[in-house]
């Protein structure tokens, strides 16, 4: 069981947790809760912290005193109106207490970002990815060099980095930080944990990009609506096709996953996918699939390694001008997406909102007809109704927010303990 969710202390079979161990677990959980509230709400006074966390005033006082001692938070004194009486004291996370590196690997570039303990981005740069025959070893060597450069630019030490969070499209090992398959290197695995084993004490995490987008979007919606999100799916459209699904269980815990949606088998139509299979959703709906159909290239042609957005814009312009093959390409892409989503909804037994993100959102006018047709073919949709569709254009920002929130949540539980 996830200790951060339940507060339970893992025990061997037949062994009971001691009162001291149970008390320590509760204290650690409460400290993490205070740090989390300060990160998401900003500086707060003692009474506001008590209200936001549901903890007693005495408990908040003990926790803030300990967190100040650990130099994880700092206090600010604000003068009262008229400068009479005791100043108002606000508690805030101390920026330099820890740092997070967030790395986004895309088909054409690698983006490196550095954030402080409050989640504020303090540096970022991007490097074009070698589109040639760069080996995994060469990529990891360049990756490590870029991390060193990011740290040195901000005059930090490696020991100041508490977490390195990496994301990519593809299939990630859920137990470690190994990329098992990716659009970049295919089935040549990349083991980031091993490659960064000498990078201080930083925790190394690898996520499918769509998982982070879903995580961050849930937080945004909950903050704006002031109520929990029960379920949400995010669909990323681009050269790759990604899906993230968030479901809240009866106990209120949110589970966010990124199933391998783009490479689910969709149709026995002979369309070759980058993964080597035929008939995947991505083979019809990814940028390279749309390009192949629009130019009436044989479906078993090896997919293009990368399709520039400018090329997709040209195909879209032709489609909007009535070019039949281009129109058909986008409609078939939408159909593959709609049918895939209808299967997902049937398995989830729920009609959840679907947020569509990524560079492909600019072609929604051409994709919507096929998307609606694909959804309507599902009995689930016919009975329960079509899902609400949201168009979100800030995918890159959401990836960063997801990286930082997940990393800092883990750091809070470790440092707060």
**Tokens linked to 294:** 């629009």
SS3 at position 366: helix
Question: How many other CB atoms are found less than 10 A from the CB of residue 176?
Answer: 14
Distances (CA, A) of 360 to 91, 107, 236, 393: 42, 14, 8, 9
Nearest by Cα to 274 from 169, 399, 367, 362: 169
Region 126-139: mean pLDDT is 83
More confident residue, 20 or 323: 323
Pairwise CA distance, residues 213 & 234, whole Å: 7
pLDDT at 111: 97
> Rg (Cα) of the chain, in Å, rounded?
24
- pLDDT given at position 6: 33
Residue 203 has pLDDT above 60, yes or no: yes
Decide if 214 contacts 256 (C-beta within 8 A): yes
Q: What is the mean pLDDT of residues 215-243?
A: 95
Residue 25 is predicted with a pLDDT of 80
When pLDDT is cut at 50, 70 and 90, the band that residue 413 belongs to is: confident
- The per-residue pLDDT for 130 is 72
pTM of the full structure:
0.88
Percent of the chain scoring above 90 in pLDDT: 73
pLDDT above 70 as % of the chain: 92
Query: What pLDDT does 76 receive?
Result: 85
Position 9 scores a pLDDT of 35
Check for a shared fold between 97-212+397-415 and 225-394.
yes
Q: Does the domain made of 3-92 have the CATH classification 2.130.10.10? A: no
Give me the mean pLDDT over the 76-92 stretch: 75
pLDDT at 174: 76
Q: What pLDDT was estimated at residue 12?
A: 42
Query: 346: burial class by Cβ within 10 Å (0-12, 13-18, 19+)?
Result: middle
What are the CA-CA distances from residue 118 to residues 58, 91, 115, 124, 152 (Å)? 25, 12, 8, 16, 20
Q: What is the mean pLDDT of the chain?
A: 90
- Check pLDDT > 70 for residue 392: yes
Calpha distance 283→239 (Å, rounded): 10
Residue with tokens 């509760």: 26
Q: Is the pLDDT of residue 17 over 50?
A: no
Whether 2 shows a pLDDT value over 50: the answer reads no
278 forms beta bridges with 272
Q: Which spans in 1-81 are helix H?
A: 3-6, 19-41, 46-53, 57-69
The first and second tokens of residue 4, run together, are 């951060």
DSSP single-letter state for residue 129: P
CA 243 to each of CA 98, 323, 351: distance values in angstroms, whole numbers, following the listed order = 31, 30, 15
| SS3 state of residue 351 | coil
Mean pLDDT to the nearest integer, 269-283:
94
Segment 280-291 shows an average pLDDT of 96
pLDDT for the residue 20: 58
A 10 A CB-CB count for 41 gives 12
Looking at the predicted structure, is the pLDDT value of residue 132 above 80?
no
Summarize the confidence of residues 101-122 as an average pLDDT.
94
**pLDDT (tens digit, 9 = 90+) per residue, 146-164?**
999 999 999 999 999 999 9
* Both structure tokens of 30: 């409460």
pLDDT-based confidence at residue 261 (cuts at 50, 70, 90): very high
Our CA dihedral for 95, 99, 104, 110, rounded to 10 degrees, sits at 110
**Alpha carbons 63 and 331: distance in angstroms, whole number:** 57
Q: From 2.60.120.580, 3.40.50.11540, 3.30.420.40, 1.10.10.10, which CATH number describes the 97-212+397-415 domain?
A: 3.30.420.40
Please report the pLDDT score of residue 27 as a whole number.
Answer: 82
The lowest-confidence range among 188-202, 282-296, 329-343 is 188-202
Amino acid 214: pLDDT: 98
Report d(CA 79, CA 87) in Å as an integer: 5
pLDDT band at 255 (very low <50, low <70, confident <90, very high): very high
Q: In this predicted model, what pLDDT tens digit does every residue of 165-182 receive, in sequence order?
A: 999 998 988 778 999 998
Q: In terms of CATH, what superfamily is 225-394?
A: ATPase, nucleotide binding domain (3.30.420.40)
Domain boundaries, the chain: 3-92, 97-212+397-415, 225-394
Indicate whether 229 pLDDT > 70.
Answer: yes
């Amino acid at each position: 069981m996830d200790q951060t969710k339940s507060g339970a202390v893992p025990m061997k079979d037949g062994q009971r947790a001691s009162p001291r161990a149970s008390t320590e677990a509760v204290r650690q959980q409460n400290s993490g809760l205070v740090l989390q509230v300060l990160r998401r709400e900003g500086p707060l006074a003692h009474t506001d912290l008590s209200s936001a966390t549901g903890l007693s005033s005495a408990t908040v006082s003990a926790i803030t005193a300990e967190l100040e001692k650990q130099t994880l938070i700092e206090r600010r004194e604000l003068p009262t109106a008229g400068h009479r009486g005791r100043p108002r004291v606000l508690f805030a996370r101390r920026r330099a207490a820890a740092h997070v590196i967030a790395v986004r690997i895309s088909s054409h570039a690698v983006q490196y970002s550095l954030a402080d303990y409050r989640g504020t981005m303090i540096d970022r740069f991007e490097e074009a990815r070698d589109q040639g025959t760069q080996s995994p070893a060469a990529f990891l060597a360049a990756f490590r060099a870029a991390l060193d450069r990011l740290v040195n630019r901000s005059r930090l030490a490696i020991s100041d980095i508490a977490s390195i969070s990496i994301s990519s499209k593809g299939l990630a090992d859920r137990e470690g930080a190994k990329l098992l398959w990716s659009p970049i290197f295919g089935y040549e695995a990349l083991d980031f944990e091993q490659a960064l084993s000498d990078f201080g004490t930083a925790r190394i995490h690898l996520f499918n990009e769509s998982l982070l987008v879903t995580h961050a979007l849930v937080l945004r919606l909950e903050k704006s609506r002031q109520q929990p999100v029960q379920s949400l799916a995010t669909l990323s459209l681009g050269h790759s096709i990604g899906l993230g699904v968030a479901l809240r269980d009866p106990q209120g815990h949110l589970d966010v996953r990124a199933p391998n949606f783009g490479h689910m088998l969709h149709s026995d139509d002979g369309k070759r996918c980058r993964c080597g299979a035929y008939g995947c959703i991505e083979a019809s709906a990814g940028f390279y699939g749309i390009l192949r159909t629009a130019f009436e290239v044989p479906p078993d042609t090896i997919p293009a390694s990368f399709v520039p957005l400018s090329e997709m814009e040209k195909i879209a312009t032709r489609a909007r001008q009535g070019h039949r093959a281009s129109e058909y390409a986008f409609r078939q892409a939408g159909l593959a997406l709609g049918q895939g989503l209808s299967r997902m909804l049937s398995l989830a037994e729920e009609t959840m909102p679907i947020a569509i993100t990524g560079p492909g959102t600019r072609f929604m006018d051409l994709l919507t007809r096929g998307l609606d047709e694909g959804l309507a073919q599902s009995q689930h949709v016919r009975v329960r109704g079509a899902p609400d569709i949201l168009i979100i254009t800030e995918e890159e920002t959401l990836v960063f927010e997801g990286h930082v929130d997940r990393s800092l949540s883990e750091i809070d539980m470790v440092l707060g303990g």
